Amino acid sequence: MTLAAATDLATATNEHLASISNTLIYSSMAVYTLAFFAYIFEWLLGSRSKVARTAAALTADTETSAKAPAVTVKKAGGTAVLERPKVVVRSASGARDVPDGPGAHGGDAQGDLYGRIAVSLTVLAFLVELAGVVARAASVQRAPWGNMYEFNITFSTVAVGVYLTLLALKKNVRWLGLFLITTVLLDLGLAVTVLYTASDQLVPALHSYWLYIHVSTAIFCGAVFYVGAVATILYLFKDAYETKLQTGGKPGAFATSVLERLPASASLDKFAYRVNAAVFPLWTFTIIAGAIWAGDAWGRYWNWDPKETWSFITWVAYACYLHARATAGWKGRKAAYLAMIAFGCWLFNYYGVNIFVSGKHSYAGV
């Protein structure tokens, strides 16, 4: 076989692998869509469960509760009335007085069935998408992180992988499924319609083993920060819901149906904090690894490139959040707002800087 024939064969093989990768990514989107509907059914069926009705009864107004004691029991030949227990709707300082909700299924058996189906579909979609990422890597014969399209499909794969890992570790995070899959579908939709870039080789500056170290840790950190951000957003809603109940307010039926099934605000706050705190050292390493790579590629460890600058701003924002969580006066909502600002910095560092700002990291296009 001549050199030209071998080159043509290799090109045809790479194009075929790229086509397989695209097919697998679209297939994963189809399965994710089925999982999305299964999660929807889980939430819908859970809204009419006995748990929802019981929770509504427990949070009835105090006047009605006073007129209708909860339990009557026989005692020494007569009867005794037990007072309705006081329902605590918000955690006291340093303690978790509000029990976690039952989850999206709300205690409904059919809702739970759809939830388990949704998780199974999520696992299948994850495996199909992972195969698509691997096929993309084979088509370009390198790590599939050379442009925003490749970063997006890998990022969504890792985000789902983090969610499934937490489930495998028996963590109570199935309530995260609907929110996760919704954004994964949006992410993949953006990737295949706006950010798609044909398979190509890297520019010389990216030919380094640091690509595997720096970019892989950046993707993993982003996926974990995303999980923390979703938990933080839900914490803000749940905290507002608990506060409204505490002050005698009456939330709407939809808000009640959804929020009463989530973990308590204290649980969501703790989960978000632990997730962000756990990955922060790795984000620190990511920035250091990028600086070392910059020294090898450009001769300077720090160039105040927009990407470098916003990576550092993101690091400072998360450091402020973690410091705030360790300071008594900044726990709760104030710290949560800092967490959202920090994740906003991460999002802008990825989308805003890559699309709208030119710099040394602009070599890969979109």
Q: What is the residue-averaged pLDDT of the chain?
A: 81
Q: Could you tell me if 111 and 104 are in contact, meaning their C-beta atoms sit under 8 angstroms apart?
A: yes
Count of CB atoms situated within 10 Å of the CB of 110: 14
Which region among 60-69, 72-81, 90-99, 279-288 has the lowest average model confidence (pLDDT)? 60-69
Q: What is the DSSP letter of 141?
A: T
Residue 281 has pLDDT above 70, yes or no: yes
Q: What is the DSSP letter of 101?
A: P
Q: How many helices (H) and strands (E) does the chain have?
A: 13, 2
Digit-coded pLDDT (tens) for 309-366: 899 999 999 999 998 888 766 778 889 999 999 999 999 988 888 777 665 555 445 5
Digit-coded pLDDT (tens) for 209-242: 888 888 899 999 999 999 999 999 999 999 999 9
Token pair belonging to 260: 């009463």
Q: What percent of the chain clears pLDDT 70, i.e. is strictly above it? A: 78
> How far apart (Å, rounded) are the C-alpha atoms in residues 132 and 149?
12
Specify the pLDDT at position 84: 43
Specify the pLDDT at position 47: 74
Max avg pLDDT among 70-84, 193-207, 224-238 = 224-238
Considering the entire predicted model, what is its pTM? 0.81
Specify the pLDDT at position 70: 46
Contacts of 201 (CB under 8 A, 6+ apart): 140, 142
